[in-house]
Structure 1
C-alpha cells in the first residue's frame, strides 16, 4: 500500500480536534486541561480513558489503548486506515492526495470493483422485471425495504443472461470471469455461474460489492446456496455476509449474531434484529473470529442443535478461544430441531428471539460440557483425562481474568491446581525513596509532552553514539522534530506506532514528568511551564552527553599507544571537559 505523505498526516492531525472526534462517540468530562471517560474499548467502572487536546491523542491507563484521531476511528468505528483518513479529511475540508488513492487501488482492481457493481445492478433490474422472482420474494415475506437495504437481486434462468448484458467485448468478458461470475465447461464454453437464483451481494468493509451468494428458487435445484469462488477481492474465510449493513444500522455494535444462511440474516433484520451476520458456506475461521470481535464485544453463535450444528459450534469455539481477551464474550444458541432464525423470528418476533439469546450458553459452559462428554469425573483417571484435554486449549487464552477463571473452573472439576498462584506482592517504595528516573526516559517524556524542546538542540547529537537502550529512539525523535518543527505529540506517536521501541511512548506521553536527578515527581506546575519542561529536557540531554564523552574518553584511553594526532587532541579535550566527573555518571 502506498504511504500517505508525512506532511499530509501532520496537517490532518493538526487541523483535527480529537476531543470533538471522540466526544461525538464517547461522553467526555473535563478534568483540568484534559478530558476523561470510561474506556470504550474495555469494560470498567471508573474513568481511566484520557483525551488530551494539547497532545492530540488518547490513552487508557486500564487496557493500554492509545493513539490519534485516526487510530480512534479505526478502533471505534472499525474503519480501515484509508477510510479513517478519508473521514477526518472530509471533516476538516482536506483532500486525500490523488496519487495515494490511485496507488492503493490499481486500475485492474478498480475495474474489478466496477464489474461487480455492474453485475449487482443487473441482478437488481432482473428482480424487478421477473414475475417468478418477485413471487418468490413475496412468498418468503421479504419487505421491499429489506430488498433495498441488502441490494437483493435475481440471476435469470439461462446460460448467458449476464454475459449478453455485460460481456460486450473480450476485455469485459475477462473482467467478469476474474470476478467469479462465469463458469467454463470441458469444451471451454463460458456461461453464467449464477442462474435462476435469488442473489445476495457480499460487501467489503467499505460497502463495495466483492462477491455474490445465490439461493435456489426452485426447491428441486441444488446446491441450495452457491457462492462466488475465491478471487483477488474475495476470500470467504475472511468475510461475513451482512456486516456492512449491520454497521450502517447501528451507531455502535454491542453484539453480533452469527447465523448460517443469507435468508436468516435478512429475516432477522426485517424483524428488528439488525446485528446478524453469516459465514459464507464455511466454518468459522480465525479471521472471522478476529473480524467479529473487532466489531462487537459480544458474539452469539446461532446453530442447529443437531450433531452437525454442535460440530460447527465447536469449530467456532476453537477459533474464538485464542481471542478471548477480557471484556469479550462468546455465547452459543442451539435451536430446536426443524427451526432456524428465519422461522423463529417470524413466529416469536424480535422479543422472542432476544429472549433466546439471553438464555444462550456461555463459552465456558459449552467448552467444559463438550470436553467432559465421555469422561467419568467420578474417577481419578477421568479427572486426569479432562485436565490433559483442556490444558492445551486453555493455554491459548490471552492472559487476563477470563483465562484465570477458566483454569480455576478446571481446577474445581479435577482438583488439580485448586489453589491459584498468587502474584508476588509489588515492592513498596518508601516515601522519599523513589527510584531515580533515567535521563533517556526523562528526555523522551519531556519531548513527547512538548515536542518543540528538541529544537533547542544543535545537530549532530553527541549522545547518539551511546550504546544504550532507547538512544536510537530518542535520536530519531529529535531528528523527526527538526525535520517537522510543528509536529504534535499525536503525530509523533503515529509516526512511531510501528516501531518496536515506540510501544512505550503513549504511557510516557501521559506520565508525570520526572527530573532525571531526583526520585520524586516534579511539582505539577512543571507540566504547565514550557520553560521548566525545556530545562528538564536539556538537563537530561546534558547528562547523556556527559555519558557519551566519558565513553569516548575511555575508548581512546584503552588504545592510547595507537592514537593518531587528531585522536590525541580529541582525548586531551575530553579529559578537560570531564575532569572532576566520576567515571560513570548515571
Structure 2
C-alpha cells in the first residue's frame, strides 16, 4: 500500500516527537530545554544511566550519542513497538486524529507527479531570477533598492521579476520541453476564454517564491509594478501542491532560526518578512494574503510556544489581530499561547525598521501583549461601563470568551485574570479627588465653614463608625485568607467593601485574583505582592485571632456563617449612616416626631440584619414601640436629639 502525497508530511507536522518519545523515557529536566524543544533522556534502546539520548522536537529527529540510534517519530514507534512501517504510521495517525487513507494503487504516480510539478516551479524560479537581472527588470531592481533590499537578500529569497508580456514564461517553459498541461496544473498560466493560447498569470510583477516546509517551491506571490493594477499582490491559485491555508511564507528558514533561539514573528506580508530577516529577525513568517488559519496556528506552535503576532499598526491590522484571538482561544493549552506586538499607528514592521532600526522592533517584541490583555482591550476599548447593564454585559462576554478554552486549568486562569481586570476597571483605587479639608492643631479635622455643617458633623460622629467598618473588614479578609474556597460565593460583597485602608484594598485585590488557587498559593501571592508584614499584622489583631474561621482554617461552614454575618453588619451599618445623613440634610424641615421615626427605622433595619447574632450588648428601649438600639445607635440618637433641643436659626 502506498500513502498519498503529503500524508506523512502532514502527520509529522501534527505530532510532537517529544510527546511520542516521552511515553517511553524519563526526561532529564536539568539538561533539557523544553521551551526550545531540546530534550534529553537515558536512551531507550540500550542500558545507560546518563542522558545521552537527544530529541530535537522542532526538527523532528532523535539521536543517541551512545548507541547512535537515530530517526523520526515513525522509526521510533517501529523500534519501540516492534511493528512494521504502515502499522507505525497507523498508530501515529490515530494519535494525531488523522484517518488512514484508503488503499491507493496510484499513490506512487501521484507522488511522481508532485515531484514533476515542483520541478516545473523551480524552473519558473530560475526564469524570474534571470528576468530581474536582465534589462526588463531595471525598474524592479530600482524599486527593490529603494526598499533597502541588498543583492544578498534578493539571492537569499530567490526574488525575481515577471516581464510585462502575455506568454513570456509559457514560451520559456514549453521551449524547455515542459508539457503545457503541467504549466497549467502549477497555476503559472491560464486558458484563454477566447480559445487562444494560454497566457501567463503573473505579468509585470516582482516575484516571491513560496516554499513548503521542505523548502520546495509550491507557489508564487507577485507584487504589481503598475500602481493602477487591479491587485497590488497576487498569489498563485491553489493547486495539487499548494494549499494556502496550510502554508506560511519563509516557514523552513524560520523554523531553523527559531530553533536557535530567535523569536518567531508573524508579519502581514512578504516585504515585512524579508525586511525582518535582513535586520536579524530570522524567524519571521507571513500568511498568504488571508487571515491566519487554524492549520497555520498549529504550524506556528510546532515551532515555538509563544509566536509574536506583528501586524500593521492600522485599524485593519488591529482587526486581523482580534480575529486571531477568536481563532486561537479554543486551541490554547498550558504553555502554548500568542503574544501581540502592536506597531505604531500607520506603520508596518518594514516602515519601523527603516525609520528607527532593529532596536525599535525589538522593543515592540519585548513589550508584546499577552493574548488575554489584547482580548480585554478589544472588549473594553472606547466603551462606557457606567450602568449595571453594561457591566453585566462585559462580565458575560468575558465569561463566554474564557469558556471557549478547552484546557480546564488554563480556562480557570483566564477567568481569574479577566475577573481581576474587571475589578480594576470598576473599582479603581480612588485618589483624593476632593479638596483636602484643614486639620486642627492636634491633627483632627477642623470644623467646616458654616454652623449648619458643624451640626451635620457632630450628628454623624457617633463613636467612630469608620473604625468599626475597618474591624469588620479585617475579620472578613482574614476569614477569606483562612478559607479561600468560599470567596467565589461572596465575590459581589467583597468587591463592594469600602476598603479605605490601603492594606485592606491590596489584600482584597489579591484575594479576588488568587483565591481560586487555594490557601497556600493565596498566602504565597500575598507575601510576594504585598509582603509578609501586612498579613502578619492582620492576623495578629485580637478580634481577628479570635474569629472562628481563623482558629479553624479551611472550615467552609464556619467561614460562610461568619462572612454572612459580617457582610450583613456592614450593610446595616451603611444603612444607618445613610439614613442619619439624609435626616441631617433635612434637619431644618422635619418635625421632631418625623426625625425620631427616621432614626428608628435605620436602627430597626440594623436589628433585622443582626437579630440572629448573639452579641454582648447593652440594649435600650426607645418610646412605646420598645425599639432595640445598641449603644452606638443610642449615642448617635441622643446627640441628634440634643441638636433638636437647640434653638433653630430664626426662632
Residue aligning to 1:143: 150
Give the 3 Å change call, closer, same or farther, for CA 305–352 of structure 1 in structure 2: closer
Between the aligned partners of 1:132 and 1:281, the Cα distance in structure 2 is 24
Give the 3 Å change call, closer, same or farther, for CA 50–278 of structure 1 in structure 2: closer
Residue aligning to 2:344: 336
Q: Which has the larger radius of gyration?
A: 2
Q: Secondary structure at the match of 1:310?
A: helix
Query: Is 1:197 paired with 2:205?
Result: yes
Q: Secondary structure at the match of 2:41?
A: strand
Deviations 1:537-562 (A, max 9, x none): xxxxxxxxxxxxxxxxxxxxxxxxxx
Q: Secondary structure at the match of 2:182?
A: helix
State which drifts further: 381-390 or 342-351: 381-390
Between the aligned partners of 1:162 and 1:337, the Cα distance in structure 2 is 40
**Residues 217-366 of structure 1 correspond to what in structure 2 (within 5 A)?**
217-366=225-374
Between the aligned partners of 1:185 and 1:366, the Cα distance in structure 2 is 48
Q: CA deviation at 1:127?
A: 1.3
**Residues 153-552 of structure 1 correspond to what in structure 2 (within 5 A)?**
153-168=160-175, 172-189=179-196, 190-373=198-381, 376-399=384-407, 402-413=410-421, 418=491
Residue aligning to 1:530: none
Alignment length, in residue pairs?
Answer: 376
CA contact (8 A) 1:377 1:414 kept: no
Root-mean-square deviation (CA, aligned residues, Å) is: 4.0
Q: Secondary structure at the match of 1:321?
A: helix
Between the aligned partners of 1:335 and 1:250, the Cα distance in structure 2 is 22
Q: Secondary structure at the match of 2:311?
A: strand
**Residues 548-559 of structure 1 correspond to what in structure 2 (within 5 A)?**
none
Query: Is 1:76 paired with 2:55?
Result: no
CA contact (8 A) 1:246 1:276 kept: yes
Q: CA deviation at 1:375?
A: 5.3
Between the aligned partners of 1:57 and 1:246, the Cα distance in structure 2 is 37
Q: CA deviation at 1:227?
A: 0.3
TM-score, length-scaled by structure 1:
0.57
Between the aligned partners of 2:365 and 2:240, the Cα distance in structure 1 is 36
Give the 3 Å change call, closer, same or farther, for CA 367–85 of structure 1 in structure 2: closer
Q: Secondary structure at the match of 2:338?
A: strand
Give the 3 Å change call, closer, same or farther, for CA 255–83 of structure 1 in structure 2: farther
Deviations 1:130-167 (A, max 9, x none): 32332222222211111111111111110011000002
CA contact (8 A) 1:197 1:217 kept: yes
Between the aligned partners of 2:75 and 2:210, the Cα distance in structure 1 is 23
Q: CA deviation at 1:253?
A: 4.8
TM-score, length-scaled by structure 2:
0.51
Between the aligned partners of 1:57 and 1:335, the Cα distance in structure 2 is 53
The one of the two structures with greater contact order (alpha-carbon pairs below 8 A, sep at least 6) is 1
CA contact (8 A) 2:314 2:347 kept: no
Between the aligned partners of 1:181 and 1:154, the Cα distance in structure 2 is 14
Between the aligned partners of 1:213 and 1:233, the Cα distance in structure 2 is 15
Residue aligning to 1:120: 125
Q: Secondary structure at the match of 1:298?
A: coil
Q: 2:30 aligns with which of 19, 37, 42?
A: 37
State which drifts further: 139-148 or 252-261: 252-261
Unaligned 5+ runs, structure 1: 5-20, 23-30, 59-67, 89-95, 426-586
Q: Secondary structure at the match of 1:334?
A: coil
Give the 3 Å change call, closer, same or farther, for CA 154–299 of structure 1 in structure 2: same
Between the aligned partners of 2:122 and 2:373, the Cα distance in structure 1 is 44
Q: CA deviation at 1:338?
A: 3.1
Between the aligned partners of 1:76 and 1:388, the Cα distance in structure 2 is 39
Give the 3 Å change call, closer, same or farther, for CA 43–251 of structure 1 in structure 2: closer
Between the aligned partners of 1:269 and 1:171, the Cα distance in structure 2 is 34
Give the 3 Å change call, closer, same or farther, for CA 244–162 of structure 1 in structure 2: same
Give the 3 Å change call, closer, same or farther, for CA 396–216 of structure 1 in structure 2: same
Between the aligned partners of 2:61 and 2:324, the Cα distance in structure 1 is 24
Q: Secondary structure at the match of 2:335?
A: coil
CA contact (8 A) 2:235 2:288 kept: yes
Q: CA deviation at 1:194?
A: 0.4
CA contact (8 A) 1:125 1:153 kept: yes
CA contact (8 A) 2:185 2:239 kept: yes
Q: CA deviation at 1:306?
A: 2.7
CA contact (8 A) 1:156 1:196 kept: yes
Q: 1:152 aligns with which of 154, 159, 163?
A: 159
Between the aligned partners of 2:355 and 2:295, the Cα distance in structure 1 is 33
Between the aligned partners of 1:373 and 1:254, the Cα distance in structure 2 is 32
